[in-house]
Amino acid sequence: MLMLWFVGTGINGYRGLSLAAVDILKKCDVIYVERFTSLLSDGDISGLNSATGRQAIPVQRWFVEDGREILEASKEKQIALVTYGDPLIATTHSELRARAAKNSIKTAVLHGASGIASIMGECGLHIYKFGRTVTMMSEPKSAISVYNTVFDNLLAGAHTLVLTEYSHDDKGAFFLEPGQVFRMLLDVERDQRHHVFSEETFVVVASRVGDDDQRIVSGKIKSLAGVGFGPGPHSVIITGMLHFTEEEALEALTVSLDGPADNAKSIKRISAQMVERYAPKAKEAVKQMRNVLRDDDKGDKKGMYEVLDNAEYYISDSERFLMQGRHDLAVLSIGYAEGLIDALRFQKGINPWNP
């Protein structure tokens, strides 16, 4: 049966090809090897050729994105597209597979070790504890989206894998330095001020995972500032809540410059920041307002005392909701208490907030 095969080499060069993949490749009429997203060397392609007895054809990204030649060929021959890692991680390949299916071309996938899952495991972290993965590019806007993803993940206690820009063409490889990644994220911190990143943030840098000179270093950003990480690709992991087995693994399996730390501990929801800042101020304002009322004999004081009593109830409700993790109710309640207090302010023309 004619088939378009998507074959992943895993992350150890051509020798990551599975027995099943080699058997299939031997039977294929044409083998394309995708070299844009891939880290496959010329040596890997020769190795693949001798393992399969075939002459694989290296192709560029545009060739796969365009895809027409591959799809046309698949209507008449056994075709394989070989890619680094797992073949369905890159969107381009997944798209091509859907286009093939729409054209009634049968497809099958021989999965390989994915770089993403391998990096998570190599650092000793549990894959289940990762939130959304994000890619950091060299343009400054990218750092904002990375910052927000890390913030969201930390609020859920989750780790974040940050892949970093990496590409290579005829002129050589470009990769984003981990030091540059940290500087960009600290810049965003200065704008956003959600206390996501500081020099104390514990991070893991995984470089060249799968290569012989793979290296994984962990520590605070300030400790990693002076480290030379060598050529890419690099990934950065910002750890969330750590299971003790993860802490032990980080210490045992990485070059550990500082003991592992839970970055989720110091993170606070904006709602919690609000309530913790506003509740004490509101309590003080109620006190001030009571003093003003005591010395004043105009107006309907009974109604005003009722307002202040209610403000106090809602301030403590807010603090209680916060403890229960009911963040929206906590914010609603503190806002309500402030509104009650300020209504009296507008009417009495005094400001209890800055006594």
User: Is there a cis peptide before residue 233, judged by omega within 30 degrees of 0?
Assistant: yes
- 180 or 214: CB nearest a copy of itself: 214
Q: How many Cβ atoms are within 10 Å of 122's Cβ, its own excluded?
A: 19
Please, are residues 30 and 77 in contact by the beta-carbon 8 Å criterion? yes
Q: How many Cβ atoms are within 10 Å of 194's Cβ, its own excluded?
A: 19
In the complex, the smallest distance separating the C-beta of residue 93 from a copy of itself, rounded to whole angstroms, is 9
In the complex, the smallest distance separating the C-beta of residue 321 from a copy of itself, rounded to whole angstroms, is 11
- 142 or 221: CB nearest a copy of itself: 142
Backbone angles phi, psi at 51, to 5 degrees: -65, -30
In the complex, the smallest distance separating the C-beta of residue 199 from a copy of itself, rounded to whole angstroms, is 27
- 98 or 323: CB nearest a copy of itself: 98
| Partners of residue 57 on adjacent β-strands | 32
In the complex, the smallest distance separating the C-beta of residue 47 from a copy of itself, rounded to whole angstroms, is 9
In the complex, the smallest distance separating the C-beta of residue 216 from a copy of itself, rounded to whole angstroms, is 12
- Measure the CA dihedral 256/259/260/264, to 10°: -140
Indicate the residue type of 292: V
Please, are residues 93 and 87 in contact by the beta-carbon 8 Å criterion? yes
Comparing CA positions, the residue from 16, 262, 261 lying closest to residue 118 is 16
Backbone angles phi, psi at 264, to 5 degrees: -70, -25
Please, are residues 308 and 341 in contact by the beta-carbon 8 Å criterion? yes
- 201 or 271: CB nearest a copy of itself: 271
In the complex, the smallest distance separating the C-beta of residue 23 from a copy of itself, rounded to whole angstroms, is 8
Q: Which residues contact 280 (CB under 8 A, 6 or more apart)?
A: none
In the complex, the smallest distance separating the C-beta of residue 172 from a copy of itself, rounded to whole angstroms, is 26
- 116 or 261: CB nearest a copy of itself: 116
- 156 or 225: CB nearest a copy of itself: 156
- 9 or 221: CB nearest a copy of itself: 9
How many angstroms separate the CA atoms of 124 and 248, rounded? Answer: 8
Calculate the alpha carbon distances from 137 to 61, 189, 229, 239 in Å.
19, 17, 18, 20
In the complex, the smallest distance separating the C-beta of residue 294 from a copy of itself, rounded to whole angstroms, is 17
Please, are residues 153 and 159 in contact by the beta-carbon 8 Å criterion? yes
The two three-digit tokens of residue 23, written as one number: 């058997």
- 152 or 284: CB nearest a copy of itself: 152
